[in-house]
Structure 1
Amino acid sequence: MNTTPSLDLHFIDAAAPEADATKAPLVVLHGLLGSADNWRSHLKVWQQKRRVIAVDLRNHGRSPHAEGMTYAELSRDVIELLAREGIKRAHILGHSMGGKVAISLARTAPEITATLIVGDIAPVRYQHGHDDVFAALDAVRQTRPATRRDADALMAEHVDARPTRLFLATNLVKDADGAMALRVGLEEIRNGYEDVIDEPAGERAFEGPTLVLRGADSHYVTDDMLPTLRKVLPKARLVTLKAAGHWLHADQPEAFQQAVEAFIDAYDEQRA
């Protein structure tokens, strides 16, 4: 399979003065149209104990734009980032699309993966479901509104839910002329969307410690998907967060933070 060259990804590197430098760092991978910035409140909690690296995947956040959205390409970008940082082993956490990147990384480079934490995604191919979101962002790109309020009005013609529009607005920046522009690589993502909704990369199961967190109100990890999940992640522990949808880390931030931290701490205790 032809793949594009790996990209030099942007990332947030966080560690509190009291963090234990001997512990394996936590690597955080966002979902589709998200960014490392979405995780700053969580980083403040997790960085108290260990180094935390929140990555902007290609075509997202402050990372470069390029064609190619296969999970082999996305995970290779992250693997090479860790190599440049001298990180030989890490806890890998991914939400949604980032969860598939995390699964792909764990399957293809298990020697790097101390533990795997997957947020509300299964290793299956999903149906199309982002046409309205792409149309909303495209309206902003073509119209170049002057303010965020004007941008929100444009997006509201395609997306009714205000929380979704607020999330999409994290991808807006002022351009040189003062107009609202996109920092996300919209065309590259749309061109690669068939790969985004596809299964993760890798042929073998990941046999390491795995935590799968799903939202009770989400349809992304349904019970009928669990046999496939168990085949790919045989050591997976499944936890369902009440009163949480697909964005479970935003709906139940404390419960999500605590579940991740407890899982990683238990691993550290076993290794001590």
Structure 2
Amino acid sequence: MGRGSARGRWPRAPVITYVMTHIHHETVVAPGAAPTRQLLVLHGIYGAGRNWGSVARRLVRARPEWSVVLVDLRSHGRSPRLSPHTVEACARDLVLLEERLERRADAVLGHSFGGKVALVYAGMRPLRQLWVVDSSPGAGRAGGSAWRMLGVLRRHPGPFGRRAEAVDAVESEGYSTLVAKWMATNAVPTDNGLEWRLDPDEMEAYLRDYFRTDAWGVVVRPPTGTDVHFVRALGSRVLDEAAVARIQEATAETERVFLHEVEGGHWVNTENPDALQGLLTAGLG
């Protein structure tokens, strides 16, 4: 996105920012639009709402009847560091957010850790659509690329003299340059230089709860009126064959569960944002 000449680029959509006593969010709307539907977007464990800003701006340009709320989950982005560090606590924050927004979300999208938050939230509040991006509903052993990133934070705590040093640190652990540059956005200025704003102990607590939480109930018995869309990144192992088979069984039994597959690794919003934006443009109901 943003590729090509300046003539071909879309103008930046206005962003309205609210700071609350709980979680921070930004609302993205198309220029001149009066949206009637609302999508909440929940980032992954090392992300923040702004990571989805480009996808959101393109989406509202294509579907101006929608607004997109980019959420910073607790302990992430500009939201405060709150406890407990659990999936359920993050989901309950969204209930409070809706009350502040004075409207219910029509759809929620969650990536990775945010995907399980979205599943738990859908069990609390009725939605038209739920989009789960490269996130497994089930409980299981801790592992995967997000879990391994904890070691990067601990082995390379900083401070860094330049952001390029943070990029090099992540790359040295076997991650792609694209993912390393994205991860390095979490290195923020301090009196000592650039340091990670994410506390690895807190992130580990969130991830352990993610792996403990079983949200299959929302998939096999979707809440009334809710369609559940899974997006599987083909270069990722988060959704294994057993999980895919169970999702496909739910598709056959309920006709309200859908599986989409896109190229890219686990951080698909960074590696293949065009595919995600295309799915949402076509699929938001």
- TM-score computed with the length of structure 2 as normaliser: 0.79
Q: Which amino acid aligns with 1:74?
A: C
Name the structure 2 match of 1:28. 41
Q: Which amino acid aligns with 2:45?
A: L
Aligned mate of 1:54, from 59, 67, 70: 70
Q: Which amino acid aligns with 1:169?
A: A
Indicate conservation of the 8 Å contact 2:25/2:70, yes or no.
yes
d(CA) in 2 for partners of 1:221, 1:202: 13
Name the structure 2 match of 1:251. 271
d(CA) in 2 for partners of 1:138, 1:90: 39
Q: Following TM superposition, by how much is the alpha carbon of 1:131 offset from its aligned partner in structure 2, in angstroms?
A: 5.2
Indicate conservation of the 8 Å contact 2:87/2:206, yes or no.
no
Alignment of 1:39-118 (within 5 A): 39-48=52-61, 49=64, 50-110=66-126, 113-118=127-132
Indicate conservation of the 8 Å contact 1:140/1:154, yes or no.
yes
d(CA) in 1 for partners of 2:23, 2:37: 20
Name the structure 1 match of 2:13. none
The runs of 5 or more residues in structure 2 that have no matched partner are 1-19
Q: Following TM superposition, by how much is the alpha carbon of 1:132 offset from its aligned partner in structure 2, in angstroms?
A: 3.9
- TM-score computed with the length of structure 1 as normaliser: 0.83
CA pair 247-191 structure 1, distance change in 2 beyond 3 A: closer
Indicate conservation of the 8 Å contact 2:43/2:114, yes or no.
yes
SS in structure 2 of the partner of residue 108 of structure 1: coil
Q: Does 1:167 align with 2:182?
A: yes
Q: Following TM superposition, by how much is the alpha carbon of 1:198 offset from its aligned partner in structure 2, in angstroms?
A: 2.7
d(CA) in 2 for partners of 1:257, 1:155: 27
Q: Following TM superposition, by how much is the alpha carbon of 1:140 offset from its aligned partner in structure 2, in angstroms?
A: 4.3
Q: Give per-residue Cα distances to partners, 1:66-96, cap 9 Å, x unaligned.
A: 2322221110111211111112232101111
Q: Following TM superposition, by how much is the alpha carbon of 1:236 offset from its aligned partner in structure 2, in angstroms?
A: 0.9
CA pair 220-131 structure 1, distance change in 2 beyond 3 A: closer
Q: Show structure 1 runs of 4+ deviating over 6 A.
A: none
d(CA) in 1 for partners of 2:165, 2:211: 31
CA pair 188-211 structure 1, distance change in 2 beyond 3 A: same
SS in structure 1 of the partner of residue 37 of structure 2: coil
Q: Does 1:123 align with 2:137?
A: yes
Q: Following TM superposition, by how much is the alpha carbon of 1:180 offset from its aligned partner in structure 2, in angstroms?
A: 0.6
Indicate conservation of the 8 Å contact 1:126/1:197, yes or no.
yes
d(CA) in 2 for partners of 1:213, 1:57: 21
Q: Give per-residue Cα distances to partners, 1:90-117, cap 9 Å, x unaligned.
A: 210111111111111101212xx22111
Q: Following TM superposition, by how much is the alpha carbon of 1:216 offset from its aligned partner in structure 2, in angstroms?
A: 2.2
Aligned mate of 1:37, from 35, 40, 50: 50
Name the structure 2 match of 1:236. 257
SS in structure 2 of the partner of residue 197 of structure 1: helix
Q: Following TM superposition, by how much is the alpha carbon of 1:214 offset from its aligned partner in structure 2, in angstroms?
A: 0.9
The runs of 5 or more residues in structure 1 that have no matched partner are 1-5, 268-272
SS in structure 1 of the partner of residue 123 of structure 2: helix
Q: Following TM superposition, by how much is the alpha carbon of 1:34 offset from its aligned partner in structure 2, in angstroms?
A: 0.9
Aligned mate of 1:216, from 228, 234, 238: 234
CA pair 89-147 structure 1, distance change in 2 beyond 3 A: closer
Name the structure 2 match of 1:3. none
Q: Following TM superposition, by how much is the alpha carbon of 1:144 offset from its aligned partner in structure 2, in angstroms?
A: 1.5
